Amino acid sequence: MADSPANTYAVLLPLPLAGCYDYAGEDVAAGDFVVVPLGSREQVGVVWGPGTGEVALARLKYVIGRLDVPPLPEICRRFIDRVAAYTLAPPGAVLRMAMSVSAALEPTREISAWRLASNPPGGAKLTASRKRVLDVLADGPPRPTGELAREAGVGTGVIKAMAEAGLIAAVSLPQRLPFALPDGDHAGPLLSADQRKAADALIARSSGVTLLDGVTGSGKTEVYFEAVAAALRAGKQALVLLPEIALTGQWLERFEQRFGARPAEWHSDLSSVERRTAWRAIANGQARVVVGARSALFLPYPDLGLIVVDEEHEQAYKQEDGVSYQARDMAVLRGHLASIPVILVSATPSLETLQNVSAGRYTTLHLPDRHAGAALPKVAAIDLRRDRPARQRWLSPALVSALELTLGAGEQALLFLNRRGYAPLTLCRACGHRLNCPNCTAWLVEHRLTGRLQCHHCGYQARLPETCSQCGAAGSFAACGPGVERLAEEAAALFPAARMATLTSDTLGGPRAVSEMIDRIARHEVDLLIGTQIVAKGHHFPMLTLVGVVDADLGLAGGDLRAAERTYQLLHQVAGRAGRAERPGQVLLQTYDPDHPVMRAMVSDDRDGLIAYELAERRTHAMPPFGRLAALILSSHDQERLDQIARALARVAPSGPGISVLGPAPAPMAMLRGRHRRRFLLKCRRDIAPQPMIRDWLAKVKLPGVVRLQVDIDPYSFL
Ligand code: ADP
Ligand code: ZN
pLDDT given for residue 2 in this prediction: 42
3 state DSSP class of 199: helix
Q: Which residues contact 58 (CB under 8 A, 6 or more apart)?
A: 1, 2
378 lines ligand 1 (CB under 6 A): no
pLDDT given for residue 362 in this prediction: 98
pLDDT given for residue 197 in this prediction: 97
Report the predicted TM-score, pTM, of the whole model to 2 decimal places. Answer: 0.87
Judged by phi (left if over 0) then psi (alpha if -120 to 50, else beta), residue 510 lies in left
- Alpha carbon distance 63, 24 (integer Å): 6
- Alpha carbon distance 324, 712 (integer Å): 6
- Alpha carbon distance 353, 344 (integer Å): 8
Q: Which residues contact 706 (CB under 8 A, 6 or more apart)?
A: 636, 637, 638, 641
Adjacent-strand bridge partners of 631? 681, 712
Q: Is the pLDDT confidence value at 168 over 50?
A: yes
Q: Work out whether the CA dihedral 311, 317, 318, 320 comes out positive or negative.
A: positive
221 lines ligand 1 (CB under 6 A): yes
In percent, the amount of the chain with pLDDT more than 90 equals 71
Average pLDDT, the chain: 91
Query: What's the pLDDT tens digit per position in 561-595?
Result: 999 999 999 999 999 888 877 788 999 999 999 99
pLDDT given for residue 91 in this prediction: 96
218 lines ligand 1 (CB under 6 A): yes
Angle between helices 193-204 and 220-233 (to 10 degrees): 40
Cα 299 to Cα 95, 144, 267, 282, 606, distances in angstroms: 10, 24, 12, 7, 40
Adjacent-strand bridge partners of 238? 289, 306
- Alpha carbon distance 312, 212 (integer Å): 10
pLDDT given for residue 268 in this prediction: 82
Q: Is the pLDDT confidence value at 108 over 60?
A: no
Q: Is the pLDDT confidence value at 175 over 60?
A: no
Strands 412-416 and 544-549: parallel
The CA 677 to ligand 1 mean position distance, Å, reads: 46
- Asked if residue 210 lies in contact with residue 343, where contact means CB atoms within 8 angstroms, the answer is yes
- What confidence tier does 120 reach under pLDDT thresholds 50, 70, 90? confident
366 lines ligand 1 (CB under 6 A): no
pLDDT given for residue 234 in this prediction: 95
Query: b/e string for 218-234 if b means 16 or more Cβ within 10 A?
Result: bbbbbbbbbbbbbbbee
192 lines ligand 1 (CB under 6 A): yes
Pocket test for ligand 1, best of 222, 256, 539, 543 (most atoms within 8 A of CB): 222
Strands 452-454 and 461-462: antiparallel
- Alpha carbon distance 523, 712 (integer Å): 44
Mean pLDDT of the 644-652 span: 97
Query: What's the pLDDT tens digit per position in 249-291?
Result: 788 989 999 999 999 999 888 888 888 889 989 999 999 999 9
Tell me the residue ranges of DSSP E strands in 569-626: 586-591
The CA 355 to ligand 1 mean position distance, Å, reads: 27
Mean pLDDT of the 16-29 span: 91
3 state DSSP class of 55: coil
- Alpha carbon distance 285, 289 (integer Å): 10
- Asked if residue 637 lies in contact with residue 689, where contact means CB atoms within 8 angstroms, the answer is no
pLDDT given for residue 110 in this prediction: 55
Q: Is the pLDDT confidence value at 103 over 70?
A: no
- What confidence tier does 146 reach under pLDDT thresholds 50, 70, 90? confident
Mean pLDDT of the 681-703 span: 96
130 lines ligand 1 (CB under 6 A): no
* CB atoms near residue 602 (< 10 Å): 26
Q: Is the pLDDT confidence value at 293 over 50?
A: yes
Q: Which ligand is nearest to the CA of 458?
A: 2
Environment class of 123 (CB within 10 Å of its CB; exposed 0-12, middle 13-18, buried 19+): exposed
Strands 208-214 and 708-713: unpaired
Tell me the residue ranges of DSSP E strands in 481-636: 500-503, 528-531, 544-549, 586-591, 627-636
